[in-house]
Amino acid sequence: MKPLLPLEEAQERLIAMAQPLPSEIVPIGDALGRYLAEDVLADRNQPAADMSAMDGYAIRFEDRNGPWQLVGECKAGSPPCPPIQEGQAARIFTGALLPEGADTVVMQENVEPDGNTIVLTSDPSPAKGRHVRFQGGDFEAGDVALKAGIRLNAAALGHAVIAGSGSISVGRSPTVAILSTGDELVAPGSDTKPHQIPASNDVMIAAMLSQLPTQTRSISRIKDDLDSLCEALDSARDCHVIVTIGGASVGDHDLVAPAFQRLGGQTDFWKIAMKPGKPLMAGKLGKSLVLALPGNPGSAFVTATLFLVPLIRYLAGAQEFMPVMQTANTNTVLPATGQRAEFLRAQIDDSGISAFDSQDSAKLSILAAADALLFRPAHSPEQPVGATVSYIAI
Ligand code: AMP
Ligand code: MG
């Protein structure tokens, strides 16, 4: 029997089959969740000039004890107000430019106006520059504001805007067709006969992809029939990625591989040393990358986490595209593993990580209750309670 392909090798081979998509420029407000294609360099200093961080009075530090003669008012959005001289103060508001001559701001809570004179009612300012935001204190023109390959979150979009960007270069979003197959599958919410089941994987996999930059097309519930499968696969050839769910094994009604081959698809790998997920297949159909996931929900979820999600991230321009492994102490004894790496559905809390007793990959109740996939490398010895293990948060 052909040995199963080690997990890491399969992951590397899938990425080697792919190439990040070209970039496109999008308005900054449309870039949430996309991967940055080029470094964003700041076009401006932030702040552009020294400004106030408080509502109060701009003064010279030498005059910190007051009293001051009030000579002007500086507002955010106005050009600088006139310079101040010895013994003078200007009313100033948060975000207003500091007038020439001033180097310190006294909070309005610490003073009292007495006609045109301002007197100190608290301790004097302890340091020159108090409550001043200095020119370039956040970043300077030419600084790298954001690095290529990062995922743009809300704060990163804000940073890009303040650095001067109105649009931004991001990796294109891959188009993904999700094909599910099985005579037993019916639409969500339908009445089911005992020989039927609702097609849960279609929604689950689409939901996993909806958190990534993708455009998905669902071709659900294809019959276990070679012609129907060929037709469905053929209709998805315009997509960057075709994901099939179910029918990936070697049963008489597992027709994904035969359909793929009939259309001239090139298999890169099939059968991985992992549990669940052994029947996973990857290949190319024309320009489309094809990933055939097994149908059991636990297997589909685990293979999507380890192969599909990283592939989509990579295509979309991510620098870090593999699942993040974290560590925790196991609350249960973990038996030795064989030639397959294992991903146990588990729950994690402050006490550690607890793998469920049942690891039946058909049970959605377990998958839905899990918040981690506990990773057991192939050929690893039994682990006692308290041993440090790796997991992927889900
Ligand atoms: P298969 O990989 O086609 O042999 O399917 C393995 C198991 O997963 C069978 O019990 C199928 O009924 C189930 N299954 C396959 N596809 C889906 C789907 N889209 N949604 C829910 N269960 C599925
Ligand atoms: Mg099937």
Residue 394, CB-side half-sphere exposure with 13 Å CA sphere: 27
Question: What's the average model confidence in pLDDT over 52-70?
Answer: 97
Bridge partners, 147 (sequence order): none
224 lines ligand 1 (CB under 6 A): no
pTM to 2 decimals? 0.94
Which pLDDT tens digit goes with each residue over 283-341? 999 999 999 999 999 999 999 999 999 999 999 999 999 999 999 999 999 999 999 99
The pLDDT of residue 247 is above 90: yes
Rounded to the nearest whole angstrom, what is the distance from the C-alpha of residue 329 to the centroid of ligand 2? 37
- H or E element at residue 14: helix 7-17
Residue whose CA is at the smallest distance from ligand 1 atom 16: 295
Tokens coding 50:
């020294």
Note the pLDDT of residue 276: 97
- What's the distance, CA 46 to chain centroid? 27
Residue whose CA is at the smallest distance from ligand 1 atom 11: 295
Please state, in angstroms and as integers, the Cα–Cα distance from residue 291 to each residue in 51, 264, 268, following that order: 55, 15, 10
DSSP string for residues in 244-266 = EES--SSSTT--HHHHHHHTT-E
Which pLDDT tens digit goes with each residue over 200-234? 999 999 999 999 999 999 999 999 999 999 999 99
Ligand 1 pocket test target in 184, 203, 296 with most atoms within 8 Å of CB = 296
For residue 224, the ligand 1 atom closest to its alpha carbon is 3
Rounded to the nearest whole angstrom, what is the distance from the C-alpha of residue 246 to the centroid of ligand 1? 5
Ligand with smallest separation from the Cα of 245: 1
For residue 199, the ligand 1 atom closest to its alpha carbon is 20
Note the pLDDT of residue 1: 67
Farthest-apart Cα atoms in the chain, separation: 96
200 lines ligand 1 (CB under 6 A): yes
Q: What is the side-by-side strand order in the sheet with 266-270?
A: 215-222, 175-181, 241-245, 288-293, 281-285, 266-270
* Residue 300 three-state SS: helix
pLDDT range class, residue 253, cuts 50, 70, 90: confident
